Structure 1
Amino acid sequence: MIENRPFLKVLSHVILIFGVLLVAFPIWVAFVAATHDAGRMNILPLPMWPGGHFLENLDVALNQGVWGGDGQGVAFMLFNSMIMALVIAFGKIVISLLSAFAIVYFRFPFRMFFFWMIFVTLMLPVEVRILPTFEVVANLGMLNSYWGLTVPLIASATATFMFRQVFLTIPDELLEASRIDGAGPLRFFKDILIPMSQTNIAALFVILFIYGWNQYLWPLLITTDQDMYTIVIQIKRMLEAGEEAPQWHIVMMTTLLAMLPPVVVVVFMQKLFVKGLTETEK
């Protein structure tokens, strides 16, 4: 029997509310700054309530740009970030699914050796191997391209390990039943494994989309053409205004635009995300 203690219930709610306010306050400050003009943002104290320039600042950020942006808006940079995040997320999931499928359901020499070699790459993130990776990408002529932004980042040892663990929980009777029905390996993979892994795929998609969207170091290294800049790089460039003061109202508007796609993905896939991380039985 669970004891009903009103004091602990109230205390837990107070702590949760305080945590939400603590996390949301910077977002509120960014939103308020995005609704004021440049003159108000240069006057102390900073405003804590919205102004009337939201749509104007939105148009400037999307279509006109500011110092450090060479007069170009961030609309195409949002598109570049979207392409990068989606290709990385789908690429990691597809490669990891196929890798885990081969490791679990096929018997070939050094099978576990190759699995542990994949797992060992967790100790070699992009930051560690960035120079040789850059040289390979440059020699292949993939600088300033979507291929260069995404291909070096689509392999994932973590996702491979996760799908391997998921496949190991699937009963062998399903494999035997599919063989009796005349299904080949690809049919078993497509009709049995993928449907049973949908929640895990959804959870990984959310994580990997945010991972790809927030990439900074790799795009900064291989993109010199402004048409290939991502939104995260542009925010950094907007803060480096040279002799001019940053236009904080446009910077904060751009920050809100950069936060929007990951938030939308998390909100719309929240149930599948939580289910994919907590589901233990098939």
Structure 2
Amino acid sequence: MLKKISVVTTVYNGEKYFDKAIPSILNQTYSDFEWIIVDDGSTDATLEMLKQVAAQDKRVKIFASGRLGRAKALNYAIEQAQANYIANQDFDDISYPERLQVQVEFLDAHPEVGVVGCNYIVEDENRKERYVRKPATEHDQLLRTMAKCIPFAHTLVAFRKQAWLQAGGYPDREDSEDLRLWITFAKHGWLLASIPENLGTHWVYSKSFWHRNFEYSHRQKQLARLQWQAIQELNLPLWMGIYPIGRYVYLYAPNQLKSFVRRFLAGSKEKTLEYSKSN
């Protein structure tokens, strides 16, 4: 009998993160799933360690694709998936025990919804911040959110494989493949939704000076272009063009100002928590 939901994960050199995604998924309250893990050409001991996990739990299926890159590896993983629902899980994040149960029940009850997100905790090592992110819950609100930012934590979404097939899979682009996919879902008539419950934790890890200053800059500019794309393709009000323009200002704002900009200018719903490096 086919499973109702397939968890998909891609990993590259994830040796130091085996204490995060793996126990959090294997200990879900909803246990009738398959887990497709694609090793994306790791050069450390990741693949060998994954094979050990699969040997201990038959729900885990390991694929060694060679180095494909993020978007292609995600598409490859979903191609192997047998279920109608797909739950993405990044290897360095965690899902709370009830996550799959809650999202399966939601998709069962809302056949018009193509993708569903949730509230989640952000552990930002770069800015030494810890807070709860609360996405909008309704479709129209989430469409407007796409003019401002990425509406969901990709690591904690669940979506219909049918919607992914209609969209042609993740676009083969270097970043923001998730936002591109949600825009395409909406263009095909699927509704977007988010569950107002904390269902996981997403980490933003410290990086080198090069990555902090150059990769981050490129990503923010790319997001601004995608925000404008969402405005045009989803027929959002043209005045919302202030948000992609504002992303360029946000890019150069000091960290102390970024939280204010997210919450009061971009309308992001967040609740600050105490930050601890041990989290």
- What TM bracket, shorter-length normalisation? under 0.3
Q: Please give the TM-score of this superposition, normalised by the length of structure 2.
A: 0.22
Q: Larger C-alpha radius of gyration, 1 or 2?
A: 1
Q: How high is the TM-score relative to the length of structure 1?
A: 0.21
- Of Structure 1 and Structure 2, the greater strand share is in 2
Higher RCO (CA 8 Å, separation ≥ 6 residues)? 1
